[in-house]
Amino acid sequence: DTGVSQDPRHKITKRGQNVTFRCDPISEHNRLYWYRQTLGQGPEFLTYFQNEAQLEKSRLLSDRFSAERPKGSFSTLEIQRTEQGDSAMYLCASSSTPGSQETQYFGPGTRLLVL
Amino acid sequence: AQSVTQLDSQVPVFEEAPVELRCNYSSSVSVYLFWYVQYPNQGLQLLLKYLSGSTLVKGINGFEAEFNKSQTSFHLRKPSVHISDTAEYFCAVSPSGGYQKVTFGTGTKLQVIP
């Protein structure tokens, strides 16, 4: 069990550029979540996948954001035309179903700075 | 809808002293409760969770929490803290059953003073 991994760990970009982040969940986990965490705040839910299906999207996920999980394994989160307000830590988590013992395991995050 | 309130944004405590980090939640349905710890520039690590059963939950690193349904609280405690406990702690809640959309509090920074 290698845990949840995210790449890159840090990204600095200029306003208006597109960025893409990758998340590799724990191998047997079929649920995958993206969160955004800004300074001084707890993580905020962005979106959730069960296998390859995106089942819920937060209103925080504007049209500039898109997430995919094409084969039900790794996931990508793309931000188009980045804005300074997008600067945050983007966290990925995964969990397995079914049952009440479900726990989300978090990756180390990708810290984005938009200049 | 659900929400989590962590009233203390920062808690300084001397090494080897006890600590309590407070968490209150609000929800119209039954819930699961979690405490996560985040070290600088790292992701979140699960400390403990309450799903059902005994209201006193023991977690890793000597932490424990007690679920109090009448007070809608889930305070985190440790009898004797160590320097290595310096980190930010997040309380979180999710509806029980189904998929878990977790709602986090704003976090409490625990600073252990040598």
Q: What's the pLDDT at A100?
A: 46
Q: What's the pLDDT at B100?
A: 65
Q: Please state, in angstroms and rounded to a whole number, the distance separating the CA atoms of residues B63 and B61.
A: 6
The residue type found at A71 is: K
Q: Do B99 and A97 touch (CB under 8 A)?
A: yes
What's the first-to-final CA gap in chain A, in angstroms?
Answer: 36
Torsions phi, psi for A85 (to 5 deg):
-70, -10
Residue B97 pLDDT exceeds 80: no
Q: Do A40 and B103 touch (CB under 8 A)?
A: no
Residue of B nearest to A96 (CA): B99
Q: What's the pLDDT at A97?
A: 67
Q: What's the pLDDT at A71?
A: 87
- What does the pLDDT look like over A57-102, one tens digit per residue? 888 888 999 999 998 899 999 999 999 999 999 999 998 866 545 6
Q: What's the pLDDT at B41?
A: 76
Q: Please state, in angstroms and rounded to a whole number, the distance separating the CA atoms of residues B4 and B23.
A: 7
Residue A114 pLDDT exceeds 80: yes
Residue of B nearest to A55 (CA): B99
Beta carbons of B88 and B110 less than 8 angstroms apart: yes
Q: Do B106 and A40 touch (CB under 8 A)?
A: yes
Q: What's the pLDDT at A96?
A: 81
Residue B91 pLDDT exceeds 90: yes
Q: Which of these ranges, A34-38, A54-58, B32-36, B99-103, has the smallest mean pLDDT?
A: B99-103
